[in-house]
Structure 1
Amino acid sequence: MHSFLKELIVKAGDLCLAEQGQLTLQSLEFKTRKDLVTATDRQVEAFLIQEIQSRFPDHGIWGEETGQMLTDSDYCWIIDPIDGTTSFFHGQPYYAISIALKKKQEIILGAVYAPALGQLFHARKNQGAWLNDHPIQVSATTTLTDAVMATGFACLRAGKKNNNLVHFNRIVPQLRDIRRCGSAAIDLCYVAAGKVDGFWEMNLNVYDVAAGILMVTEAQGEVTDFTGGPDFPEKGIVAANPVLADILRSQLTS
């Protein structure tokens, strides 16, 4: 299934590359005033579902655009066809396809492909994580002063009054720098690869983070909610090496 997943997600990335730049304002739909979806999101998800059902007809699927099907199966593929749709529509490279495979309650496979960047991240439970087939590991940074972190603002897109701005204003002045890709899947993979030292965000969905969570944990990192518990992403999400994750959580709950 690992090889199937890698081949499948690259094909989905090729669809994105072919369609990016071809979209118009008239082709957009809006889930909310700020949360947009393109025809390519739907096209890619339909392609992925068709390929998975053809190979594994008894597996469940949870897609961002189509919802859940075959929910009584032990296996469930969790799909975000384009994480970072705004970047995709605006011709920017920071978007990715994210696919995870869950067996019962455990994520056992994950892949995130950023086609415009040529970066394929993949992970297998208890076997490690890779970027373009090279093993990856979280950074060893243990202080905020030395850290470059990533975050996002799904909370603002959702119109939440309790949002990330308070945390952002407290944490960012203590960091070396901050990055904002607009794709939680990429942010988590960059934590896994040591390209950024930590990540936090609010108001994400399971399909945004499922594959990235496995990437971080298989790269010797830690993923929790804001309080250190397992209720992520519902109660926020924190990802970093264990030492830095503890420091970041203290900032988020102070």
Structure 2
Amino acid sequence: MNLKQLANNLTILCRNVGAFIQKESESFDSSKVEKKGFNDLVSYVDKEAEQKLVEGLRKLLPEAGFIAEEGTDSTKGERFNWVVDPLDGTTNFTHGLPAYCVSVGLLDGDEVVLGTVYDPNRDECFWAYKGGGAYCNDTPIHVSGAPALKDSLIATGFPYYDFGLTQQYLQVLGAFMSRSHGVRRMGSAAIDLAYVACGRFEGFFEYNLKPWDVAGGAILVQEAGGRLSKFTEEGDYVFGGEIVASNSQVHPEMQQTIGEFWKKAQS
């Protein structure tokens, strides 16, 4: 398999789907939004975008299966599986907030080997493949060189349906606010990861995540020289429901800060 060629083809597909999303944003009717669950929104744009992605991905790698947010195709591949979020940041999109993207990752077994995150609002296509480095459009990207948390800008996401750990999470947020340059909440985990990869953020952490939220962006961080883990330990950050991504240098401080409160929350 030629991962570089596959990555190039994937960026073209994601750009095309992103163009469709942008066109629909010009006349989007918020009354057409549906609810999959409490605060879990979906629109016809999500569904049609995923259909376009799945159709294109089938042609790129016919033997691959799918883990797709809207369930367009749930066929599992023996080795390869596409992990698809057609519109990461749906709530932003439905409110007209320009912070959303197309995110696709490719799993080889349990390992992400290829990923693309396309932000149509800024026309920034972040992409990476195993061993090939990470890029924004045609420019190589690298994580920030900030040496410590006190020099860092941190991103996170807020719970939107499971609020059982809210108080502990607020304690974690408070600690990061007092120990860093600040905390930002974009509303799209894939964009957060892309921004860690290109050095705009030094770190990102969030829980209650799904595989399609992180697969496309995780390899960007890895190939840009960053580090990924669960909150307080190494482990499966794609399927494990929580992730810490960083420029590597601030990773121990991030895990330590989270662990001061998260261990209490889990005990």
Task: With the length of structure 1 as denominator, give the TM-score of the two structures.
Answer: 0.95
Name the structure 2 match of 1:186: 191
Structure 2 alignment gaps of length 5 or more: 1-5, 261-267
Structure 1 alignment gaps of length 5 or more: none
Counting matched residue pairs gives 252
Name the structure 2 match of 1:57: 62
Give the distance between the partners of 2:50 and 2:255, measured in 1 at CA. Answer: 34
Name the structure 1 match of 2:117: 112
1:248 and 2:254 are equivalent in the alignment = yes
Give the distance between the partners of 1:215 and 1:55, measured in 2 at CA. Answer: 20
Name the structure 2 match of 1:159: 162
Residue from 143, 152, 165 that aligns with 1:147: 152
Native 8 Å contact 1:21 1:89 kept in 2? no
Residue from 68, 81, 105 that aligns with 1:76: 81
1:239 and 2:245 are equivalent in the alignment = yes
Give 1:23 deviation, angstroms. Answer: 2.2
Native 8 Å contact 1:94 1:181 kept in 2? yes
Name the structure 2 match of 1:96: 101
Native 8 Å contact 1:94 1:117 kept in 2? no
Native 8 Å contact 1:226 1:235 kept in 2? no
**SS state at 1:126 partner:** coil
**SS state at 1:69 partner:** coil
Native 8 Å contact 1:21 1:91 kept in 2? no
Name the structure 1 match of 2:173: 168
* Greater displacement, 64-73 / 234-243: 64-73
Deviations 1:177-233 (A, max 9, x none): 222110000000100000111111111111000011100010010000011311325
What percentage of aligned pairs have identical amino acids? 35
Deviations 1:65-94 (A, max 9, x none): 006633143111110000001111111221
Q: Partner amino acid for 1:35? A: D
Q: Partner amino acid for 1:16? A: I
Task: With the length of structure 2 as denominator, give the TM-score of the two structures.
Answer: 0.90
1:45 and 2:50 are equivalent in the alignment = yes
Deviations 1:108-148 (A, max 9, x none): 11000000111100001011000111111111112222111
Give the distance between the partners of 2:180 and 2:112, measured in 1 at CA. Answer: 32
Give the distance between the partners of 1:97 and 1:235, measured in 2 at CA. Answer: 20
Give the distance between the partners of 1:235 and 1:159, measured in 2 at CA. Answer: 12
* Greater displacement, 217-226 / 25-34: 25-34
Native 8 Å contact 1:58 1:70 kept in 2? no
The list of structure 1 runs, each at least 4 consecutive aligned residues, that deviate by more than 3 angstroms after superposition, is: none
Flag the 1:4–1:218 CA change in 2: closer, same or farther, 3 A.
same
Give the distance between the partners of 1:45 and 1:68, measured in 2 at CA. Answer: 9
Q: Partner amino acid for 1:237? A: I
Give the distance between the partners of 1:24 and 1:16, measured in 2 at CA. Answer: 13
Give the distance between the partners of 1:78 and 1:211, measured in 2 at CA. Answer: 7
Give the distance between the partners of 2:126 and 2:72, measured in 1 at CA. Answer: 24
Give the distance between the partners of 1:24 and 1:70, measured in 2 at CA. Answer: 32
Give the distance between the partners of 2:173 and 2:73, measured in 1 at CA. Answer: 34
1:133 and 2:138 are equivalent in the alignment = yes
Residue from 188, 210, 225 that aligns with 2:215: 210
**SS state at 2:104 partner:** strand
Q: Partner amino acid for 2:202? A: D
Give the distance between the partners of 1:4 and 1:111, measured in 2 at CA. Answer: 10
